[in-house]
Amino acid sequence: MFKQLETIYKGKKVFLTGHTGFKGSWMLKILKMLGAEITGYALAPENDFDLFHLIEGNSICNSIIGDLRDKAKLTKAITDCQPDFVFHLAAQPLVRLSYDIPSETFEVNAIGTANVLDGVRLIEKACQVVLITTDKVYHNNEWVYPYREGDRLGGYDPYSASKACAELVIDSYRNSFFNTADYASHKKSIAVGRAGNVIGGGDWAKDRLIPDIVRFLSKEQKIIIRNPNSVRPWQHVLEPLVGYLLLGSRMVSEPVTFADAYNFGPGLSDALPVHEMVDLAIKNWGKGEVEIFNSDKQPHEAGLLKLDISKAMANLNWKPKYQATETIKKTIDWYKFYFSNRNEINQFTETQIIEFVN
């Protein structure tokens, strides 16, 4: 698969938003390994141990530190780059934080997406654009059926609703400015990738399951979990990222056909409850204890969420590589290596990518 992607991205200009974040840093590393020329646009990393620093991000891309809401700066970055591909990963990505900063979450995720697309309008050549939202854009009925791309969108919490709003923004821009019927004139293909509950090494975000588990384990403290029975489609970070890259590659040859939305998630058997993921993490770490935190004052979070990935499997020849047990093993392996060999974690990260794509 690496050679297949390399033929598409080597030497191409890629504009990547969110390149300093967890998912974005993995994407940055992959794109650099594929030989792309990358311009990144994102907020500054918060800590010196963020994955962006660990992979020496400043040395492998043209890194522009900026806010999606700074339209003038963002537009200049996009037009200066004149990219062949745009991957929009930047976001306010946390459900619980969205309850604290709801209006900012809507500004970043919805208006920020509109600002990216306004910049795309000014690109003077053909460009493939993949905008990343989330599995939480679906109106969640808490049912056992997996959600398909044509299902109703919605959102209870501000994060989920803001991402559903971003989808409406994308659909409007695609219809109004990048209509597939007029592709020959504008030469912009606009697609959406939906994925959620991504885990992998280098994520240190607050109120995410794996980073919280690792923080407790590394300090030899009991793991405190909020919603042990919540079911999520857990997947390793490399699964959707490779999916986005495959989607972008197909858009080159068939820009009209693939200007659409795609779910990226694990097989249905790997949509596991939180308590099973915690047990797997403890097993791979080697030790640990769990404590359930019960409170009636917790903000609402979805209890059950599954994705139907048959469209990506059929149209993109993409499928999940790791089952849940391997996903959690690869993730915990990364953190264990980090705590024992931090100076060599960049190479370890590259090794995990090579193992995945070959």
Task: Report domain extents, the chain.
Answer: 2-197+235-266+305-322
Predicted pLDDT of residue 144: 76
Give me the tens of pLDDT residue by residue for the chain, a chain 358 residues long.
899 999 999 999 999 999 999 999 999 999 999 999 999 999 999 888 999 999 999 999 999 999 999 999 999 999 999 999 999 999 999 999 999 999 999 999 999 999 999 999 999 999 999 999 999 999 988 777 899 999 999 999 999 999 999 999 999 999 999 999 999 999 999 999 999 789 999 999 988 899 999 999 999 999 998 888 888 778 999 999 999 999 999 999 999 999 999 999 998 888 788 999 999 999 999 999 999 876 556 665 655 788 999 999 999 999 999 999 999 999 999 999 999 999 999 999 999 999 999 8
Predicted pLDDT of residue 298: 62
How far is it, in rounded angstroms, from Cα 308 to Cα 268? 8
How far is it, in rounded angstroms, from Cα 150 to Cα 137? 11
Of 192, 200, 227, the C-alpha closest to 312 is 192
Cβ neighbours for 119, distance < 8 A, ≥ 6 positions apart: 74, 75, 77, 78, 79
Predicted pLDDT of residue 272: 83
Q: Are 313 and 265 in contact (CB under 8 A)?
A: no
Predicted pLDDT of residue 304: 73
Question: In terms of CATH, what superfamily is 2-197+235-266+305-322?
Answer: NAD(P)-binding Rossmann-like Domain (3.40.50.720)
Q: Are 273 and 204 in contact (CB under 8 A)?
A: no
- Phi/psi region, residue 306 (left: phi>0; alpha: psi -120 to 50; beta: rest), is beta
pTM, two decimal places: 0.95
Predicted pLDDT of residue 288: 94
How far is it, in rounded angstroms, from Cα 213 to Cα 224? 8
Predicted pLDDT of residue 193: 98
- Phi/psi region, residue 346 (left: phi>0; alpha: psi -120 to 50; beta: rest), is alpha
